[in-house]
């Protein structure tokens, strides 16, 4: 019985290989060349990620080799152990910074996504005065560098009196013009007849928004989650400008202090390498989980 199962498995595997081989034979030389070039480009773009993982596990003598080594020769966990030792010697533990980053990032993702889709829906499916001007203003705001709005942002946060609170972390990150643009372009593809049929069935505008628009925008929600999480997770501005209480600062700020203020640029480089990997992993994992929906969003949002 087991021999029959093994033979059946081999036959099915061979048939799958032969099917794939037949598909390759039907490709033209230009298509094969394009596949080869894209594969090489993908491997080239993968090199920084490979280096980041290898760099975090290098012992101290490999961190300062010249010329530097790309692949770690003697992998070790000492950098992560040193990271924990450094965090234990501080007044505020690293777990507090980590909690602040996770808490603010999750709330930012939820709030920014809801506000963006709430803004994009009327811009796409409703008619009102100043609609085109408002959307043009949102598009123009995409061209502003973050540094140009630091002073106005600081003035707003100070005027509201929300310094040293989680609101100062979340509020500046909820207005992301790129998310509004993505949601609007996606909602434009939805047929108006679908919305009209829901209105004829007696659905209110709020019920239509929650029961029709939001479920259909799930692919864009995944893209919005990646973009807003990346912005919130790597945000250093709020901790530097709005937070005086050390317990309200986030993990990026703590990592930036690991090597700053030291007498030389050699100390704690292993700790910094481990911390850089820890900062990168959440973004990497979330993107891997949601990458298919991101591709679907780009295909339906007018982005080529």
Q: What is the mean pLDDT of the chain?
A: 78
Question: How high is the pLDDT of residue 4?
Answer: 39
Question: How high is the pLDDT of residue 7?
Answer: 42
DSSP element (H, E) containing 117: helix 94-125
In this predicted model, what pLDDT tens digit does every residue of 125-153 receive, in sequence order?
888 888 888 888 888 887 877 777 888 88
- Closest among 266, 237, 265 to 253, alpha carbons compared: 237
Half-sphere exposure of 194 (CA within 13 A, CB side): 12
- Angle (CA) 250-149-237 rounded to 5° is 10
Question: How high is the pLDDT of residue 266?
Answer: 61
In this predicted model, what pLDDT tens digit does every residue of 173-185 receive, in sequence order?
888 888 888 888 8
Q: How confident is the model at residue 108 (pLDDT cuts 50, 70, 90)?
A: very high
Kindly state the average pLDDT of the residues 56-85: 80
Q: How confident is the model at residue 17 (pLDDT cuts 50, 70, 90)?
A: very low
Residues 104, 166 contacting (CB under 8 angstroms)? yes
* Cα distance between residue 184 and residue 122, in whole Å: 9
Report residue 194: phi and psi, to 5°. -65, -40
* Cα distance between residue 14 and residue 21, in whole Å: 10
Kindly state the average pLDDT of the residues 95-105: 88
Answer whether residue 28 shows pLDDT above 80: no
Question: How high is the pLDDT of residue 92?
Answer: 78
Question: How high is the pLDDT of residue 256?
Answer: 80
In this predicted model, what pLDDT tens digit does every residue of 288-304 receive, in sequence order?
887 776 665 555 544 43
Question: How high is the pLDDT of residue 2?
Answer: 35
Question: How high is the pLDDT of residue 88?
Answer: 66
In this predicted model, what pLDDT tens digit does every residue of 159-173 receive, in sequence order?
888 888 899 888 888
Answer whether residue 82 shows pLDDT above 90: no
The whole-model pTM stands at 0.76
Answer whether residue 23 shows pLDDT above 60: no
């Amino acid at each position: 019985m087991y021999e029959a199962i093994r033979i059946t498995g081999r036959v099915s595997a061979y048939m799958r290989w032969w099917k794939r081989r037949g598909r390759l034979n039907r490709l033209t030389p230009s298509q094969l060349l394009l596949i080869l070039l894209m594969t090489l480009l993908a491997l080239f773009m993968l090199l920084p990620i490979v280096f980041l993982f290898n760099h975090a596990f290098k012992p101290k003598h490999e961190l300062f080799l010249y010329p530097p080594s790309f692949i770690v020769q003697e992998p070790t966990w000492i950098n992560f152990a040193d990271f924990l030792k450094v965090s234990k010697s501080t007044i505020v533990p690293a777990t507090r910074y980590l909690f602040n980053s996770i808490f603010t990032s999750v709330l930012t993702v939820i709030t920014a996504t809801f506000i963006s889709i709430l803004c994009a829906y009327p811009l796409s499916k409703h008619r009102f005065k100043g609609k085109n001007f408002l959307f043009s203003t949102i598009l123009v705001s995409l061209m502003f560098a973050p540094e140009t709005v630091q002073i106005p942002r600081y003035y707003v946060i100070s005027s509201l009196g929300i310094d040293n609170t989680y609101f100062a972390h979340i509020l500046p990150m909820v207005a992301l013009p790129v998310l509004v643009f993505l949601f609007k372009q996606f909602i434009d593809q939805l047929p108006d007849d679908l919305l009209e049929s829901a209105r004829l069935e007696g659905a209110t505008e709020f019920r239509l928004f929650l029961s029709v628009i939001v479920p259909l925008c799930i692919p864009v929600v995944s893209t919005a989650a990646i973009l807003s999480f990346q912005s919130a997770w790597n945000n250093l501005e709020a901790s530097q400008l709005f937070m005086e209480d050390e317990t309200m600062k986030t993990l990026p700020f703590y990592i930036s202090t690991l090597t700053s203020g030291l007498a030389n640029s050699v100390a704690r480089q292993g700790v910094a390498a481990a911390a850089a990997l820890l900062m990168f992993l959440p973004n990497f994992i979330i993107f891997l989980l949601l990458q298919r929906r991101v591709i679907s969003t780009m295909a339906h949002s007018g982005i080529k």
